[in-house]
Amino acid sequence: MTEYGRGPGTEPWHPEDPLYGDGGWGGQQAHAGQQHPYGGQPQHPQHQQYGNWSQDQQPGYGGQQYPQYDGQGQQYFDPQQTGQHPQQTGQHPQQHQGGWDATGTHGHVPYAADPGDPYGQHPAAYGAEQPDLYGTEDAYPPPQPPGHRHPEPDQEAGWDPQAEPEEHPLPVGDDDADPEADGREPRTERRGKGRKPVKSKKGRTGCALMVVVVVFGGGLGGVAYFGYQFYKNRFAPAPDYAGSGNGETVTVEIPKGAGGYDIGNKLKEAGVVESVDAFVSAQAANPKAKALQDGVYTLQKHMSAASAVALMLSPKSRDNLVIPEGKRNIWVYQAIDTRLKLAKGTTAKVAKSDWKELGLPAWANSDKDVKDPLEGFLYPSSYAVAKGMKPKDVLKSMVERSNEQYKQYDLAGKAQDLGLDTPLQVLTVASLVQVEGKYKHDFGKVARVVYNRLKPDNVETAGRLEFDSTVNYLKGQSTLDVGSVADLRKIADPYNTYDIKGLPPGPISNPGSEAIESALNPTPGPWYYFVSISENETVFAVTNEEHNRNVERYQEARKQAGN
């Protein structure tokens, strides 16, 4: 019984009740008396007519008629009653008379025969006569009531009903405990057939732990290393040896123009100091360290930076063979013999026999009358010459130094600008300036005198240099009294500038940097003569008459000096 009241028949449900004819849950049809003839769709009361369908009343498409079925004249029985009762009908057997009467009493609802399916596909109208629509293979599953749990799916072959426990990167239990001790099957037996055995989780967690340790250990090590390097570079003192050396002597050559870092690199390469920064710091801490010059220093290995700076400032560190400016080769050869404790003339013989093997430039021997091919190529400097060295090696180092210097001066490129033919002639002019000019402040004017006398239109000396220094060179002497001009002109020698015109075949000394620079850049002037009266005074003259008056002054100065 609902708010719609009791039905007109024996069923307790009213036909217009929304729940009338609703099938039960659980996949079963409702009772036959509760099944709606149109599958549960409510119909208007005026249209719910049941009974036999004639051929002209059967619904269809396009006027298509369908034959009547045998069951259409059959009366339906009430499943709620034990016997059949004839259904009452009105004027027409197909007219449905059910409903509420005028007196309010519910009349008996006559049920007509099941209307024929116009498509021939619908099942019987009542659940007792309908086939199971969900029993076929292709049917959808029957609807389920709310909150109904679905059945568990069938277990596939090989499926392990016991889910594997979650793996952790670190060990959390004893995985090697006996599985049979607590009634469980061994893991390998409980797994499905055909699956590969799982490796022990203890081994896997152990590997994971090792990876974690390595990663974190390496990271911490890297941080510590870079932190230490940062501290050492920024705040820690520079590495430095202690003491004044280990007693092992070493020579270090410092090039010209080298700064603190350059000197420090040289000393570090030779094993004298431990680090460049230590030397630079020690040099900055010593006010006298600015006086460090180029040259060769004799030091010891493993010296503290402060000790190395102090020793380099001492003359003891420069106990080397020093070649002064303007010295001839014969003097250099004797100095090498003395330093190496060799017999007199040993180095001179080596120079005469091996000069082609010492690295001279191609233009060095451009004149066949050159007395010594090495003259002018033993550059004035300080050289490390120690006992046990060979004269040839010492000479070779001197030639190498001269080559470096002459390349910097570009003697070959500037020869033609000066009116000279070869770089050797430029070097020869420089050697004359070095010897004739007693004082460096006069080098520029002396060089100008040389170039003026070399001019073809020179009427003062007729193209002759007439330098006493060339006579002394060819005689192997060094004196102011070379003799009278008449006597000097009688000496037949390519180096005798009183006799020949022009330059001698080659240099007569080893000029220094000031003399070379003066030869390359002579002071402008018309001078043809000069004479040095004193250390602070050298007088220059344009004419011979003026020069003769200057010579008289020179002789008077010598008499006063007792010479």
**CATH code assigned at 305:** 3.30.1490.480
Q: For residue 281, what are the domain limits?
A: 217-319
The pTM of the full predicted model, rounded to 2 decimals, is 0.53
Q: Is the pLDDT of residue 245 over 70?
A: yes
Region of residue 376 (left: phi > 0; alpha: psi -120 to 50; beta: else): left
Same domain for 315 and 400, yes or no, is no
Nearest Cα to Cα of residue 109 among 96, 117, 93, 98: 98
Strand, coil or helix: 382: strand
Burial 31-65 (b: 16+ CB within 10 A, else e): bbbbbbbeeeeeeeeeebebbbbeeeebeeeeeee
Which of 409, 439, 458 marks a domain boundary?
A: 409
Nearest to 447 by CA among 354, 543, 521: 521
CA distance 513 to 337: 26
Q: Please state the rounded mean pLDDT for residues 49-69.
A: 42
Q: Rounded CA gap, 17 and 398, in Å? A: 130
More confident residue, 180 or 453: 453
Q: Is residue 191 within 8 Å of residue 199, measured between CB atoms? A: no
* Calpha distance 334→45 (Å, rounded): 149
Residue of 194 and 544 predicted with greater confidence = 544
> Who wins on pLDDT, 401 or 216?
401
Does residue 418 lie within any of the structural domains?
A: yes
Domain check: are 382 and 479 in the same one? no
Do 98 and 108 belong to one domain? yes
> 361 with 269, same domain?
no
Residue 474 shares a structural domain with residue 531: yes
Whether 342 is in a domain gets the answer yes
Tell me: do 353 and 301 sit in the same domain: no
Higher local confidence (pLDDT), 95 or 4: 4
C-alpha to C-alpha distance for 338 and 346, rounded to whole angstroms: 10
pLDDT one-digit tens code per residue, 303-350: 999 999 999 999 888 778 899 999 999 999 999 999 999 999 999 999
User: What angle, rounded to 10 degrees, do the helices at 468-475 and 423-436 form?
Assistant: 100
* Residue 375: other Cβ atoms inside 10 A: 24
Give me the amino acid identity at 41. Answer: Q
pLDDT band at 132 (very low <50, low <70, confident <90, very high): low
Which position has the higher pLDDT, 72 or 318? 318
Domains of the chain: total:
4
Phi-psi region of 382 (alpha: psi -120 to 50; beta: other; left: phi over 0): beta
Closest by Cα among 366, 424, 374, 408 to 394: 374
User: Residues of the chain with pLDDT > 70: what percent?
Assistant: 61
Is residue 196 included in any domain, yes or no? Answer: no
Provide the CA 281 distance to its chain's centre, in angstroms: 31
| Same domain assignment for residues 415 and 401 | no
pLDDT of residue 466: 95
Q: Residue 300: beta bridge partners?
A: 249
Q: In this predicted model, which residue has the larger pLDDT, 504 or 534? A: 504
Please tell me whether residues 517 and 553 are part of one structural domain.
yes
Range of lowest pLDDT (131-135, 304-308, 456-460, 559-563): 131-135
Is the same domain home to 305 and 395?
Answer: no
Q: Please check the confidence at residue 95 and state whether its pLDDT lies above 70.
A: no
Using alpha carbons, select from 328, 323, 326 the residue that is nearest to residue 475: 328
- Asked if residue 160 is part of any domain, the answer here is no
Query: Residue 248 — pLDDT band, cuts 50, 70, 90?
Result: very high
Same domain, 439 and 531: yes
